Every structure is written in structure tokens, then in C-alpha cells.
Amino acid sequence: MSAAGRSPLIEVEHVGMTYAIGGLFRRRAVRAVDDVSFRVEAGSPEILAIIGESGSGKTTLARMILNLATPTDGAIRFLGADLTGVRSNRERTAFMRQVQPIFQNPFEAFNPLKRVDHYLYFSARRFAAARGRADIETRTDKALQQVGLSLAEVKGRFPHELSGGQLQRIAIARALISAPSLIIADEPVSMVDASLRMSIVNLFKTLRDELGVSIVYITHDLATAYYISDRVLIMQRGKAVESGNARAVLDHPQHPYSVLLKNAVLSPDDVDKPIARPGTSRDSADSSPAIAPSNRE
């Protein structure tokens, strides 16, 4: 339910991104993103999962929403204003205050040579208008508390002293300092240990429910997408092939690619019916011609 009359938080309208690859004589156009449209409404926080494999264009789409890349077709609007119009420092700061990223690799997201807290301090100074040491530290501590950590635990530490799960939480805290309305999380848990993964995933739920932050959750993992998202958008080779309510789409996928994705997921429950057992001559799961490797080679 969207508040009547409000511009959507993010409106992606027939967006495409075309790259040219190849040398001087054999240039080819590659459509990394091809006519994708969706919107995230303001005022009703939700988690939208964008699901795709490598080459599906999901990371390119994320970069465009973060205004790190400009679409070659279509437009992306944030609260009604086209992103290409965000140019001056002031406008960019205002945009970054509202839209923050979480990156895939927590160990790469922090400079190994610097302490992790200085990103938090900078964010507090630039986005939360904190002045003076005490104010900055208070804001930082508040943000860290929201993710289940505290400044005392984190202060003065280097990235290699912390686990992937802790680093990712610090990254989320940093993103929260500016009180954003939208967080773009690009595969935020794929590099986090399985035992720590669910605490981060649950944290996203908390962000949506208690802090009112909408999250665009980019992943290739259908199971976690099923677990926390409200809506999903499935992408294949740059195109959006299916979208809708998360549970509906993932319980009963309609598009052949969605069906393929779902069937390809390996789960511990398969121990009752694994993909290959002694006696079966050919694997029954890869009967779909779309993935038969001989077609592509």
C-alpha cells in the first residue's frame, strides 16, 4: 500500500545498459541490462530481491541505482527526480544520504591498512551533521547498537581482526548513520560464513520492520530471498523474466528460467532424493534443453 500521491522511492523505467566490446574492427553491442522496469514505493518499507546468475545484469542494475553508472536507455528516478540530474556536490551528498550501498566482500569493503571506525566517523560528520569528537562517537555508537555491536568493540580495530559477519554488520551500521530510506545490498551474505549468515539476513528484516528502511537485496541465493523478501524480480541475461510477490513467485514459478533456477537449488533436504544415485544412467534433473551444455559449445 503506497501513500497516495507520493513519488516512489525508486522508479526504474525501461532501463537498459549497452556496452560495446571488441576491438576496432569487430565491435559488438552487449545488452547488460535490457528494458527493466520496477519501482519501490516510499512510505512502505519493503525488501525487494533481485535474483540472477552471473551475467544477468543485476550488479550493473545496482550500480545504476546507486548512480555509479548511467543507463543508456530509460531513466531511473529517485523521489521523482531523474538521477542524471544529480550532479553538484550538494545534490550528490543529498542523494547519498538517502541511498546507501552494502557490498559483497566485507574484507574488500574496508581498507586493510586503516581502522574500520574511520568510515563511520566520516559518515557521521558528512551525513549526520555531527560536530566534535563526542558527538561523532555518540552517533557511531548508536548506529552500531542498531546492528548489535558497540563502539567499544569496534574502536581502533583493523579489518583483519574481525570476522566477515562482524565486518558486514559494521558496513550496515555505517550505511545506517545517515538514516537512509533505501539500502542497496549487493550479495551481502554470499561471502559470509554459513553460521553467521542468518544473523545478517535477520538484521535486514529488522531494518525494514523497525527502522523503516527499504532494501534492494541482490542475490543468486533463492533460499534467503524466499526467507526475507516481500517481492522478487528474476533476471536472466539482462532481462526481467518474472516478478511479483516473493512467496508466490518462488513457490510456483511460471517462467521456464525461474523453474530452472528453482530446480537447480541444492538443499540439505535433497538427502532424501539426490540428483544422482547408483543405478540411474542419466541425471533426470538436467533434462531441460536450455541448459544442456552441448547446445552452447
Partner 1 sequence: MSAAGPPALANEGARPHQGAGGAERRFGRSAAGPDRVLTVRDLRAYYRTNHFGISREVRAVDGVSLHVDRDEIYGLAGESSCGKTTLIKTIVRAIRPPLDIVGGSVTFNFGDRDLDIHALVQNELEAVRWRHLSYILQGSMNVLNPVRRVRQSFVDFAFRHIRKPFPEFLRLIESHLDRVRLAPAVLDAYPHELSGGMRQRVTIALATVCRPDFIVADEPTTALDVVVQKDVLSMLREIQREIRSSMILVTHDIGVHANLTDRLGIMYAGRLVEEGRTADVIRNPRHPYTTHLVTSLPRIGDLTPKRGLEGVPPNLAAPPAGCRFHPRCPLAIATCSAEAPPMVDVDTGHRVACWVTAPPTASMPPQ
Partner 2 sequence: MLTTARDLFRYNREFRIGALLTGFIVAFAALSLVSPYPPQDTFVVPPDVPPSFAYWFGTTSRGQDVFWQLTFAIRNTMSFGFAVAILSRLISIAIGMWSGYKGGLVDRVLMSINDTFIVIPLFPLLVLFYFVMRDNMSWPLLALAMACLGWSYDARLIRSIAMSLKSREFTQQSVFSGMRTSEIVLQEHLPYVLPIVFYTTMNNMNWSIGLEVTLSVLGFTNIDTPTIGVMIYWANQHTAMVAGIWWWIFFPVLFVVILFIGLFLLAISMNEYIDPRSRLARMGMRA
Residues lying near partner 2 in the complex (CB under 8 A) are found at 68, 93, 96, 100-101, 103-105, 108-114, 118-120, 122-123, 125-127, 158, 160-161, 171, 174-175
Cell numbers that stand for 181 in this block? 530510506
User: Exposed, middle or buried by CB within 10 Å (0-12, 13-18, 19+), for 244?
Assistant: middle
From the list partner 2, partner 1, none, partner contacted by residue 68 (C-beta under 5 to 8 A by kind): partner 2
From the list partner 1, partner 2, none, partner contacted by residue 295 (C-beta under 5 to 8 A by kind): none
Question: Contact, 240 vs 36, CB < 8 A?
Answer: yes
From the list partner 2, partner 1, none, partner contacted by residue 259 (C-beta under 5 to 8 A by kind): none
Residue located via cell numbers 559488438 = 28
- State phi, psi for 13 to the nearest 5 degrees: -125, 110
Q: How far is the CB of 24 from partner 2 (least distance, A)?
A: 17
Q: How far is the CB of 196 from partner 2 (least distance, A)?
A: 19
From the list partner 2, partner 1, none, partner contacted by residue 123 (C-beta under 5 to 8 A by kind): partner 2
Kindly tell me which of 66 and 250 has the beta carbon lying closer to partner 2: 66
From the list partner 2, partner 1, none, partner contacted by residue 200 (C-beta under 5 to 8 A by kind): partner 1
Side chain identity at 124, as an amino acid letter?
A
The site for partner 1 (CB under 8 A) is made up of: 53-54, 162-166, 193-202, 220, 222-224, 226-227, 247, 250-251, 260-272, 274-276, 278, 283, 285-286, 291-294, 296-297
Q: How far is the CB of 47 from partner 2 (least distance, A)?
A: 20
Q: How far is the CB of 272 from partner 1 (least distance, A)?
A: 8
Rounded Cα–Cα distance for residues 157 and 170 (Å): 11
Question: Contact, 20 vs 27, CB < 8 A?
Answer: yes
In the chain, where do the E strands start and end? 10-21, 28-40, 47-52, 73-78, 81-82, 99-102, 182-186, 214-219, 231-236, 239-245
Cell numbers that stand for 123 in this block? 559518515
